[in-house]
Amino acid sequence: MNPLAAAWMRRHWPLTGAIVVLILFSVVHLAVFEPAARRYRTTLRLATELGMPLEPEQTPPVLPPRVFALLSDNALPAATVLERGNSGTLVSELIEDVARIGGRHGLQVVVTEPGTATQLPGSTQVRAHLHLRGSYPGFVALLGELASGGRLFAVDRFTISSQEPGRQMFEIWISRLILKQPGGRR
């Protein structure tokens, strides 16, 4: 090796090492990483064209399975909701559901007053007014089951009056929300 070139390399060994490392990294990048990046970009483009984008910014929001099940269990086709709401069937189903759940907890239905079915653009809300007789723990169990069940019930208000020890009279105003499906499926 030429003594002048060797002396020059000894003086400039950091620059020489940096050039060797740059050449090594460039060869590895072109041989290994660039083909993998090209395959990734191609896969990403194909997935986006198929409607399954892989980028977090492009993915549509997905409902959690429990929320999707709750919404689909409380939805009916719009025509069915309109027909059953106008005929009073939805209100009577609400009263039957509350009476059945209350019966499981020892509550007796004394008086029922069907309410209105309010048609909203994407849903229908049905209301009822019931008088129940039974024990306070049974009423609390009724409220708990209404809250944790798979239906969209809302207790608008209630009153409690005592008749005799261990037996109360409960007056409850309740509503249920039924969602309208845009399609014709049930």
- Among candidates 128, 169, 173, which has minimal Cα distance to 155? 173
Residue ranges in the chain modelled with pLDDT below 70: 58-60, 183-186
The pLDDT score that the predictor gives to residue 1 is: 73
| Amino acid residing at 30 | L
d(CA 124, CA 91): 11
Sign, CA torsion 49/50/54/60:
positive
User: In Å, how far from its chain's centre is CA 89?
Assistant: 28
The pLDDT score that the predictor gives to residue 186 is: 44
The pLDDT score that the predictor gives to residue 5 is: 83
- Among candidates 176, 159, 157, which has minimal Cα distance to 168? 159
**Whole-model pTM over 0.75:** no
Q: For residue 169, list its beta bridge partners.
A: 133, 161
* Cβ–Cβ < 8 Å for 150, 101: no
- Among candidates 174, 118, 111, which has minimal Cα distance to 146? 174
The pLDDT score that the predictor gives to residue 59 is: 66
Strand, coil or helix: 61: coil
d(CA 13, CA 101): 86
The pLDDT score that the predictor gives to residue 53 is: 74
The pLDDT score that the predictor gives to residue 49 is: 82
